[in-house]
Chain A
Amino acid sequence: MAGASSKSSVPTLVIDGEGDRLALAGVLGIRTLAQARQALERWRKQRKPHVLDVGKLSGLDTPGAMFLCELRDQHVELAGVQPGHEALLELIGGLPRKPLAKPPAIPRWRQLVIQLGKGVDDLWRDSIDIITFVGRTASAFGQALLHPSLLRPASISRQIAETGINALPIVGVMAVMISIVIGYQGLVQLRPLGGEDFTINLVAISVVREMGVLITAIIVAGRSGSAFTAEIGVMKAREEIDALHAMGLQPFDLLVLPRMIGLIIALPLLAFFADVMGLLGGAMMAQSLLHVAPQQYLERVRMSVEMRDLFVGLIKAPVFALFIATVGCMHGLRVRGSAESVGRETTRAVVKAIFLVIVFDALFSVFFDKVGL
């Protein structure tokens, strides 16, 4: 370092010598280290060097010093060391220079077993946590019915604004898009059968019964579920949750409940909005592809969609909301220590929430079919 060339040009190293005496000149540093090693190997093949003259080195950095110290350990004498370099050699030579510790390698099969065990353990903990969360929410609801003053209307309304009102544009656009997609696919399939008018029934029924609420739940899981995990997770990582505990406050009551209640109120409303927007998308599709006027379209929708279809669609919304909020908050509270953990838990929460939404949607379909709705 001391006196190393300040030019940005590539440093050079010159090696020559005769017999068992070698001389280095130029810069011995991180960029010339590979060259130095090669040259030394070549010399070694011919003859074992005993003395290395380093008096003409114009620059020496820590990797270079490490190289010289290794040689010194192999009983090569360093001649003509400059005083500036001597301090560096002493500093590096004084270190233990142990090889890096490496994590022990685990065989593939054991890794598999470990993964499997962890997966089962995760599943078990998840089930316990979800049951606990749902139970605590139910008991909190019960308490709120007895003592409505315990609820926090300000937090709840903020959550409704955050998860509901702010999501209106994206949910609306997605609902319109999805009904156009269904419309196109239906039209292509039904036209050869001469039943292209039934595309309207198809769009209306599938939006109102399934797609409206499903698409809303998936957007909300990605939007608000992840936000819940990240918000609560950051609070956990920054010890804010511990601060609440220390004040004798329950994070569940303060952070989890408002989010749950807020989402349980907001998601059905959002789903209804998605239904309306989906039907609007259907109207656009009918107008442009089937040349059906909006009035006629509405008439068709009224004939094909019954009140119970709307009910079947919307009854799922609070259930999905409960799952999304539970999974989001639960993973937020699972954050440990670092910021990296926030990212990991957020990913898990979103994946799990969407998974649960779709699984329960399928279960609902089977259930409604069995009871004849």
Chain B
Amino acid sequence: MSAARAKHAEPILSARGIVNRFGKQRVHDKLDLDVEAGEILGIAGGSGSGKTVLLKTLIGLHRPDSGKVLIDGKPIDTVDAREKAELIGALFQQGALFSSLSVAQNVMLPMREYTSLPISEQEKIAAVKIELAGLSADSAAKFPAQLSGGMVKRAALARALALDPKVLFLDEPTSDLDPLTASGIDELIVQLNRGLGITVVIVTHDLTTLLSVCDRVAVLVDGKITVGTVDKLARSHDPWIREFLHGPRAQGAMNARRSSHGIR
């Protein structure tokens, strides 16, 4: 990890002076955020703190009221569609699988649009991506409505990985999932990060994910952002962060983190 980080001196994704307003409310107040290549960054914050809006701003789906987002050194709104597809993969909260397409067709859609590979080759690649996301190739013919919650997330992840993006954005990847499935997804994220060298940005309020998976965590409080490793954040004086990382729910997650770090 450290070697990979040293090679990329400049961050793969950086946001500068992001301001987002809804009516009179300032959701983001001149945010700066850098994502280093190869890391797993968690974005946390209370409900309504603007996590999803920040994610959409980083992907370029939401134009901020002021400020800019650079991906791979280029402003995100100047990157053309194909390049963007190769840079960014996104997993939306509800999966956002196209309901009229089967899992395999969902995964193959970006390949069909952006490459000229023969169908048989695309199918092979899709099978690998589907297995990479932890689904069996047998579920490829199923339609989104026939999948369970965890399978939807995995299928959506397979689609997000279709073009081997450099940065993977995950919006609440473990919400609505039972703890076992959720920790399966957590493991998968780490595996993809290590194996594919993919940079991962996770928006979540799942403490276990934040503490056991993320290299660094960015906490959104009152429109400002505080970034650091969990250990550093744990010493923060901000009342919300203190409560968040020392509350009753955090204790179990902290234990999980210790054990998982022991294994690593």
Chain A residues in the interface with B (C-beta under 8 A): 1-3, 6, 8, 29-31, 33-34, 37, 61-63, 66, 84, 87-88, 90-92, 95-103, 337-340
Contacts and interface: CB of A to CB of B under 8 A. Distances in A.
B157 to A, nearest CB: 13
Q: Dominant SS at the A interface?
A: loop
B104 A100 contact: yes
Contacts of A338: 99, 144-145
29 contacts: A1-B166, A1-B198, A3-B7, A30-B111, A33-B121, A34-B118, A34-B121, A62-B128, A62-B129, A62-B164, A84-B197, A87-B194, A88-B197, A91-B132, A91-B196, A96-B131, A97-B124, A97-B128, A97-B131, A98-B138, A99-B137, A100-B137, A101-B104, A101-B138, A101-B141, A338-B145, A339-B99, A340-B99, A340-B145
A202 B196 CA distance: 77
B25 interface: no
A98 B136 contact: yes
B33 interface: no
Contact of B164 (A1, A34, A37): A1
Interface residues of B, number: 44
Contacts of A1: 164, 166, 196-198
B145 A2 contact: no
A238 to B, nearest CB: 12
B117 interface: yes
A103 B141 contact: yes
B183 interface: no
Q: Which of A8, A87, A97 has the most CB of B within 10 A?
A: A8
Contact of B141 (A3, A37, A102, A340): A102
Nearest to A336: B145
A33 B114 CA distance: 14
B127 interface: yes
B115 interface: yes
Contacts of A3: 7
B34 interface: no
A66 B161 contact: no
A34 B132 contact: no
Interface string B219-245: 000000000000000000000000000
A103 to B, nearest CB: 5
Contact of A100 (B83, B117, B141, B194): B141
Contacts of A337: 145
B68 to A, nearest CB: 19
A99 B127 contact: yes
B139 interface: yes
Given A98-B127, A101-B141, A103-B141, A91 B117 contact: no
A299 B184 CA distance: 82
